[in-house]
Structure 1
Amino acid sequence: MENKNNNYKKKGGRKPKMNPSIHRHVFRLTDQENDRLISLFEMSGMTNKAKFIVSVLFSNEIKTVSIDKGSVDFYMRLTSLYTQFRSVGVNYNQIVKLLYSHFSEKKAAAFLFKLERQTAEMALLCQKIIEITQEFNRHHLKK
Protein backbone atom coordinates (compact mmCIF):
# COMPACT_ATOMS: atom_id res chain seq x y z
CA MET A 1 0.00 0.00 0.00
CA GLU A 2 1.08 3.51 -0.80
CA ASN A 3 1.25 6.14 1.83
CA LYS A 4 -0.22 9.42 0.47
CA ASN A 5 1.32 11.50 3.24
CA ASN A 6 4.84 10.45 2.32
CA ASN A 7 6.90 13.66 1.86
CA TYR A 8 9.83 11.81 0.30
CA LYS A 9 8.05 11.10 -2.95
CA LYS A 10 10.28 11.65 -6.00
CA LYS A 11 9.05 14.06 -8.66
CA GLY A 12 10.06 13.86 -12.30
CA GLY A 13 10.84 16.62 -14.73
CA ARG A 14 12.90 19.76 -14.59
CA LYS A 15 13.61 21.73 -11.50
CA PRO A 16 11.66 25.00 -11.55
CA LYS A 17 13.64 28.16 -12.40
CA MET A 18 14.36 30.63 -9.64
CA ASN A 19 13.35 33.63 -11.78
CA PRO A 20 11.27 32.45 -14.73
CA SER A 21 10.60 34.70 -17.72
CA ILE A 22 6.81 35.02 -17.68
CA HIS A 23 6.23 38.37 -19.40
CA ARG A 24 5.74 38.30 -23.14
CA HIS A 25 5.94 41.19 -25.61
CA VAL A 26 5.06 41.08 -29.29
CA PHE A 27 6.19 43.57 -31.93
CA ARG A 28 6.01 43.66 -35.70
CA LEU A 29 8.74 44.55 -38.19
CA THR A 30 8.83 45.51 -41.84
CA ASP A 31 10.73 43.33 -44.30
CA GLN A 32 13.77 45.62 -44.20
CA GLU A 33 13.76 45.79 -40.39
CA ASN A 34 13.42 42.02 -40.16
CA ASP A 35 16.31 41.49 -42.59
CA ARG A 36 18.47 43.85 -40.54
CA LEU A 37 17.52 42.10 -37.28
CA ILE A 38 18.29 38.69 -38.76
CA SER A 39 21.67 39.84 -40.13
CA LEU A 40 22.61 41.38 -36.75
CA PHE A 41 21.52 38.18 -35.02
CA GLU A 42 23.63 36.03 -37.36
CA MET A 43 26.68 38.30 -36.94
CA SER A 44 26.36 38.13 -33.15
CA GLY A 45 26.97 34.38 -33.08
CA MET A 46 24.27 33.85 -30.45
CA THR A 47 22.07 30.78 -30.76
CA ASN A 48 18.93 32.13 -29.10
CA LYS A 49 17.11 34.98 -30.85
CA ALA A 50 15.14 35.98 -27.75
CA LYS A 51 18.32 36.38 -25.69
CA PHE A 52 19.82 38.42 -28.51
CA ILE A 53 16.85 40.81 -28.58
CA VAL A 54 16.94 41.19 -24.79
CA SER A 55 20.66 41.97 -24.90
CA VAL A 56 20.03 44.62 -27.59
CA LEU A 57 17.14 46.16 -25.66
CA PHE A 58 19.07 46.49 -22.44
CA SER A 59 22.26 47.67 -24.18
CA ASN A 60 24.38 44.72 -23.24
CA GLU A 61 27.56 44.41 -25.23
CA ILE A 62 26.87 42.67 -28.52
CA LYS A 63 29.70 40.68 -29.99
CA THR A 64 29.74 40.36 -33.75
CA VAL A 65 31.95 37.88 -35.49
CA SER A 66 32.65 38.38 -39.18
CA ILE A 67 34.39 35.60 -41.01
CA ASP A 68 36.17 36.46 -44.23
CA LYS A 69 36.07 33.36 -46.44
CA GLY A 70 39.08 34.54 -48.43
CA SER A 71 41.18 34.94 -45.29
CA VAL A 72 40.16 31.51 -44.05
CA ASP A 73 40.97 29.96 -47.42
CA PHE A 74 44.35 31.73 -47.52
CA TYR A 75 45.14 30.53 -44.01
CA MET A 76 44.19 26.94 -44.83
CA ARG A 77 46.35 26.91 -47.96
CA LEU A 78 49.25 28.48 -46.08
CA THR A 79 48.94 25.82 -43.38
CA SER A 80 48.98 23.01 -45.94
CA LEU A 81 52.00 24.60 -47.63
CA TYR A 82 53.78 24.76 -44.27
CA THR A 83 53.18 21.04 -43.69
CA GLN A 84 54.57 20.31 -47.16
CA PHE A 85 57.71 22.32 -46.36
CA ARG A 86 58.14 20.35 -43.15
CA SER A 87 57.84 17.06 -45.04
CA VAL A 88 60.38 18.30 -47.62
CA GLY A 89 62.78 19.07 -44.76
CA VAL A 90 62.36 15.57 -43.36
CA ASN A 91 62.91 14.05 -46.80
CA TYR A 92 65.98 16.26 -47.30
CA ASN A 93 67.59 14.86 -44.16
CA GLN A 94 66.78 11.30 -45.22
CA ILE A 95 68.24 11.83 -48.69
CA VAL A 96 71.51 13.22 -47.32
CA LYS A 97 71.89 10.23 -45.00
CA LEU A 98 71.16 7.78 -47.84
CA LEU A 99 73.59 9.49 -50.21
CA TYR A 100 76.48 9.19 -47.80
CA SER A 101 75.65 5.61 -46.83
CA HIS A 102 75.09 4.15 -50.33
CA PHE A 103 77.34 6.17 -52.65
CA SER A 104 80.97 7.12 -52.78
CA GLU A 105 81.88 10.53 -51.45
CA LYS A 106 82.48 11.94 -54.95
CA LYS A 107 79.13 10.74 -56.30
CA ALA A 108 77.32 11.88 -53.14
CA ALA A 109 78.90 15.34 -53.50
CA ALA A 110 77.63 15.57 -57.11
CA PHE A 111 74.10 14.68 -56.03
CA LEU A 112 74.31 17.09 -53.11
CA PHE A 113 75.32 19.89 -55.51
CA LYS A 114 72.10 19.33 -57.49
CA LEU A 115 70.12 19.16 -54.26
CA GLU A 116 71.73 22.38 -53.08
CA ARG A 117 70.56 24.21 -56.22
CA GLN A 118 67.00 22.99 -55.68
CA THR A 119 67.21 24.07 -52.05
CA ALA A 120 68.27 27.58 -53.09
CA GLU A 121 65.26 27.79 -55.42
CA MET A 122 63.01 26.63 -52.61
CA ALA A 123 64.47 29.28 -50.30
CA LEU A 124 63.60 31.99 -52.85
CA LEU A 125 60.10 30.58 -53.09
CA CYS A 126 59.83 30.65 -49.30
CA GLN A 127 60.88 34.33 -49.28
CA LYS A 128 58.16 35.13 -51.83
CA ILE A 129 55.59 33.31 -49.69
CA ILE A 130 56.64 35.32 -46.64
CA GLU A 131 56.33 38.58 -48.61
CA ILE A 132 52.87 37.64 -49.88
CA THR A 133 51.79 36.72 -46.36
CA GLN A 134 53.01 40.04 -44.95
CA GLU A 135 51.25 41.94 -47.74
CA PHE A 136 48.05 39.99 -47.07
CA ASN A 137 48.28 40.82 -43.36
CA ARG A 138 48.78 44.53 -44.09
CA HIS A 139 45.94 44.86 -46.57
CA HIS A 140 43.31 42.40 -45.41
CA LEU A 141 43.69 41.45 -41.76
CA LYS A 142 44.67 44.70 -40.01
CA LYS A 143 41.35 46.53 -40.32
Structure 2
Amino acid sequence: MEPKKKIHNTGGRKPKQDPAVHRYGIKLTGDENFRFRQMFEQSGLDCYSKFIKAVLFKREIKVVKVDKTTLDYYVRLTQFYRQFQAVGNNYNQIVRTLKTNFGEKRALQMLYRLEQCTIELVVLSKYIIAQTKEYEAKFLQR
Protein backbone atom coordinates (compact mmCIF):
# COMPACT_ATOMS: atom_id res chain seq x y z
CA MET A 1 0.00 0.00 0.00
CA GLU A 2 1.10 3.48 -0.82
CA PRO A 3 1.20 6.13 1.89
CA LYS A 4 -1.56 8.74 1.63
CA LYS A 5 -0.48 12.08 0.28
CA LYS A 6 -0.98 15.11 2.53
CA ILE A 7 -3.40 17.61 1.09
CA HIS A 8 -2.75 21.17 2.18
CA ASN A 9 -5.90 22.99 3.22
CA THR A 10 -5.89 26.38 1.48
CA GLY A 11 -9.30 27.56 2.74
CA GLY A 12 -10.04 29.87 5.65
CA ARG A 13 -8.46 33.03 6.92
CA LYS A 14 -4.85 33.90 6.50
CA PRO A 15 -3.07 33.86 9.85
CA LYS A 16 -2.20 37.28 11.30
CA GLN A 17 1.45 38.25 11.45
CA ASP A 18 1.20 39.44 15.06
CA PRO A 19 -1.85 37.85 16.67
CA ALA A 20 -3.12 39.17 20.02
CA VAL A 21 -2.39 36.23 22.31
CA HIS A 22 -1.37 37.96 25.56
CA ARG A 23 -4.19 38.08 28.06
CA TYR A 24 -4.58 39.98 31.34
CA GLY A 25 -7.23 39.74 34.03
CA ILE A 26 -8.21 42.34 36.61
CA LYS A 27 -10.78 42.50 39.37
CA LEU A 28 -12.81 45.59 40.22
CA THR A 29 -14.81 46.59 43.26
CA GLY A 30 -18.47 47.50 42.89
CA ASP A 31 -17.75 51.25 42.73
CA GLU A 32 -14.87 50.77 40.30
CA ASN A 33 -17.04 48.58 38.09
CA PHE A 34 -19.81 51.20 38.10
CA ARG A 35 -17.34 53.94 37.04
CA PHE A 36 -15.79 51.62 34.44
CA ARG A 37 -19.18 50.86 32.87
CA GLN A 38 -20.12 54.56 32.85
CA MET A 39 -16.88 55.44 31.09
CA PHE A 40 -17.39 52.58 28.62
CA GLU A 41 -20.94 53.68 27.77
CA GLN A 42 -19.83 57.29 27.31
CA SER A 43 -17.02 56.23 24.99
CA GLY A 44 -19.41 54.90 22.37
CA LEU A 45 -17.20 51.89 21.66
CA ASP A 46 -18.83 48.52 21.13
CA CYS A 47 -16.28 46.23 22.76
CA TYR A 48 -14.72 46.25 26.23
CA SER A 49 -11.31 45.16 24.92
CA LYS A 50 -11.17 48.06 22.45
CA PHE A 51 -12.12 50.46 25.23
CA ILE A 52 -9.46 49.14 27.62
CA LYS A 53 -6.79 49.32 24.92
CA ALA A 54 -7.79 52.89 24.11
CA VAL A 55 -7.54 53.92 27.75
CA LEU A 56 -4.23 52.08 28.32
CA PHE A 57 -2.49 53.53 25.31
CA LYS A 58 -4.04 56.98 25.79
CA ARG A 59 -5.79 57.11 22.49
CA GLU A 60 -8.36 59.81 22.13
CA ILE A 61 -11.76 58.60 23.31
CA LYS A 62 -14.77 60.39 21.91
CA VAL A 63 -17.69 60.89 24.25
CA VAL A 64 -21.03 61.58 22.62
CA LYS A 65 -23.89 62.52 24.92
CA VAL A 66 -27.42 62.27 23.58
CA ASP A 67 -29.99 64.23 25.50
CA LYS A 68 -33.19 62.17 25.31
CA THR A 69 -35.47 65.11 26.13
CA THR A 70 -33.95 67.27 23.39
CA LEU A 71 -34.25 64.42 20.92
CA ASP A 72 -37.89 63.87 21.91
CA TYR A 73 -38.58 67.61 21.61
CA TYR A 74 -37.00 67.66 18.15
CA VAL A 75 -39.06 64.67 16.98
CA ARG A 76 -42.32 66.20 18.22
CA LEU A 77 -41.46 69.56 16.68
CA THR A 78 -40.78 67.85 13.35
CA GLN A 79 -44.12 66.06 13.51
CA PHE A 80 -45.84 69.34 14.30
CA TYR A 81 -44.11 71.01 11.36
CA ARG A 82 -45.41 68.26 9.06
CA GLN A 83 -48.92 68.93 10.30
CA PHE A 84 -48.49 72.63 9.48
CA GLN A 85 -47.35 71.67 5.99
CA ALA A 86 -50.43 69.49 5.56
CA VAL A 87 -52.67 72.39 6.58
CA GLY A 88 -50.94 74.66 4.08
CA ASN A 89 -51.28 72.10 1.31
CA ASN A 90 -55.00 71.68 1.95
CA TYR A 91 -55.77 75.39 2.37
CA ASN A 92 -56.03 76.16 -1.36
CA GLN A 93 -58.12 73.05 -1.96
CA ILE A 94 -60.59 74.14 0.72
CA VAL A 95 -60.96 77.62 -0.76
CA ARG A 96 -61.49 76.17 -4.24
CA THR A 97 -64.08 73.71 -2.95
CA LEU A 98 -65.97 76.46 -1.09
CA LYS A 99 -66.07 78.57 -4.20
CA THR A 100 -67.41 75.81 -6.46
CA ASN A 101 -69.82 74.01 -4.08
CA PHE A 102 -71.51 76.86 -2.21
CA GLY A 103 -73.24 80.10 -3.04
CA GLU A 104 -71.44 83.40 -2.66
CA LYS A 105 -72.91 84.29 0.77
CA ARG A 106 -72.35 80.84 2.24
CA ALA A 107 -68.81 80.71 0.82
CA LEU A 108 -68.00 84.12 2.35
CA GLN A 109 -69.29 82.97 5.75
CA MET A 110 -67.13 79.85 5.63
CA LEU A 111 -64.13 81.82 4.36
CA TYR A 112 -64.56 84.18 7.32
CA ARG A 113 -64.46 81.17 9.70
CA LEU A 114 -61.43 79.81 7.85
CA GLU A 115 -59.75 83.21 8.16
CA GLN A 116 -60.35 83.25 11.94
CA CYS A 117 -58.90 79.75 12.28
CA THR A 118 -55.93 80.80 10.15
CA ILE A 119 -55.28 83.78 12.43
CA GLU A 120 -55.35 81.45 15.46
CA LEU A 121 -52.92 79.14 13.68
CA VAL A 122 -50.54 82.04 12.96
CA VAL A 123 -50.64 83.14 16.62
CA LEU A 124 -49.98 79.55 17.70
CA SER A 125 -47.06 79.18 15.28
CA LYS A 126 -45.48 82.41 16.58
CA TYR A 127 -45.86 81.12 20.13
CA ILE A 128 -44.22 77.82 19.15
CA ILE A 129 -41.32 79.63 17.51
CA ALA A 130 -40.82 81.78 20.63
CA GLN A 131 -40.90 78.70 22.87
CA THR A 132 -38.41 76.90 20.64
CA LYS A 133 -35.98 79.83 20.74
CA GLU A 134 -36.30 79.99 24.52
CA TYR A 135 -35.68 76.24 24.79
CA GLU A 136 -32.62 76.45 22.55
CA ALA A 137 -31.21 79.36 24.58
CA LYS A 138 -31.69 77.60 27.92
CA PHE A 139 -30.94 73.96 27.22
CA LEU A 140 -29.01 73.42 24.00
CA GLN A 141 -25.27 73.72 24.13
CA ARG A 142 -23.57 74.92 20.99
Please give the alpha-carbon distance, in whole angstroms, between the structure 2 residues aligned to 1:132 and 1:93: 29
Partner Cα separation in structure 2 for residue 85 and residue 99 of structure 1: 21
Per-residue Cα deviation, 1:39-94 (whole angstroms, up to 9, x for no partner): 11011111111001101111111111222221122112111111111111122221
Q: Does 1:136 align with 2:126?
A: no
Q: Distance in 2 between matches of 1:25 and 1:48?
A: 16
Moved more, 40-49 or 103-112: 103-112
Q: Which amino acid aligns with 2:49?
A: A
Which residue is equivalent to 2:41?
42
With over 3 angstroms needed to count, the CA separation of the structure-2 counterparts of 1:11 and 1:116, relative to structure 1, is same
TM-score by length of 2: 0.87
In 1: Cα distance, 2:72 partner to 2:138 partner: 16
The farther-off stretch of 68-77 and 98-107 is 98-107
Q: Distance in 2 between matches of 1:121 and 1:92?
A: 14
The equivalences for 1:31-110 within 5 A come to 31-110=30-109
What TM-score, normalized by structure 1, do the two folds share? 0.86
Consecutive unaligned residues in structure 2, runs of 5 or more: none
Residue ranges of structure 1 left out of the alignment (5+ in a row):
none
C-alpha deviation, 1:109, in angstroms: 2.2
Q: Report percent identity of matched pairs.
A: 45
Deviations 1:98-121 (A, max 9, x none): 011212333322211111111011
SS of aligned partner of 1:50 = helix
- 2:25 match: 26
Q: Cα RMSD (Å) of the superposition?
A: 1.9
Give the count of matched residue pairs. Answer: 139
Letter in 2 for 1:41: F
CA drift at 1:5: 5.9
**Partners of 1:56 and 1:129 in 2: CA distance:** 45
Higher relative contact order (CA 8 A, sep 6+): 1
